[in-house]
């Protein structure tokens, strides 16, 4: 399935457009996956970084009290940190902190996938372009175009993380579990 989804993204002239269409089609099924381990297995094994970005973006947009119209960028990811609620409906008696832990796990996965699509590897940095255009961009050694919201600084990150910590303390009313602190450090 993951290979087929990856090919479906790549065969279109606009991988960005096809990943949006595929993500829209898959998203309702993601919401109905009952176990965290199954959701994580699906998202972690996804071959297309671009499709993973789109799915995670939809997941966070769905969980925001006030959805944003910003394009996917580091600023939007920080927005998700401070405006997302617990992501998914749980059928079992999962502790609240574990729900927030899952949200932070997916936010970190979104950051890593976004970096792979935009910033990281020479062959991956033009994933939003078609295969033909991608080869030309690589030969020309063209730098990927960053979004306006990719220009964030350490102060922006610290403020959003502190806001998140305050929100979590209000919700949990107890000391943070170690797993939450580890996820915040990883995200930072």
- Per residue in 61-109, pLDDT (tens digit) is 988 888 888 888 888 988 998 888 765 555 455 677 788 888 889 999 9
pLDDT at 55: 94
Distance (Å) of CA 72 to CA 12, 96, 156:
20, 27, 17
* Domain assignments of the chain as residue spans, ordered by start: 17-187
Q: Which two tokens stand for residue 178?
A: 């170690």
Q: Which two tokens stand for residue 105?
A: 């796990």
Angle between helices 49-63 and 96-118 (to 10 degrees): 140
Q: Return contacts of 160-169, CB within 8 angstroms, 24+ apart.
A: 160/78, 160/81, 160/82, 161/81, 161/187, 161/188, 163/81, 163/82, 164/81, 164/82, 167/82, 168/100
Location of structure tokens 């930072």: 188
Location of structure tokens 């600023």: 75
Helix, strand, or coil (residue 32) = coil
pLDDT at 73: 86
Q: Which two tokens stand for residue 58?
A: 């939809």
- Mean pLDDT, the chain, rounded, equals 79
Q: Which two tokens stand for residue 138?
A: 């690589």
pLDDT at 123: 43
d(CA 177, CA 175) in angstroms, rounded, equals 6
Pick the closest to residue 157 from 120, 117, 187, 119 (CA basis).
Answer: 187
Q: Say what the pTM is.
A: 0.79
Contact by Cβ (8 Å): 76, 68: yes
Q: How does pLDDT run across 148-173, given as a tens digit for each residue?
A: 677 788 888 888 888 888 887 887 77
Q: How does pLDDT run across 29-71, given as a tens digit for each residue?
A: 998 888 889 999 999 999 888 899 999 999 999 888 888 888 8
């Amino acid at each position: 399935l993951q290979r087929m989804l990856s090919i479906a993204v790549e065969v279109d002239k606009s991988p960005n457009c096809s990943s949006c269409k595929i993500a829209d089609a898959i998203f309702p099924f993601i919401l109905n996956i009952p176990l965290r381990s199954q959701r994580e297995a699906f998202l972690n094994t996804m071959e297309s970084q671009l499709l993973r970005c789109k799915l995670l973006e939809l997941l966070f947009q769905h969980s925001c009290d006030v959805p944003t119209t910003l394009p996917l960028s580091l600023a939007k990811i920080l927005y998700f940190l401070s405006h997302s609620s617990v992501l998914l409906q749980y059928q079992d008696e999962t502790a609240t902190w574990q729900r927030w832990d899952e949200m932070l796990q997916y936010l970190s996965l979104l950051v890593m996938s976004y970096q792979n699509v935009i910033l990281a590897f020479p062959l991956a940095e033009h994933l939003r372009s078609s295969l033909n255009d991608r080869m030309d961009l690589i030969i020309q050694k063209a730098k990927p175009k960053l979004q306006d919201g990719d220009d964030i600084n350490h102060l922006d990150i610290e403020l959003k993380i502190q806001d998140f910590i305050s929100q979590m303390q209000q919700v949990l009313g107890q000391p943070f579990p170690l797993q939450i602190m580890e996820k915040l450090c990883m995200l930072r």
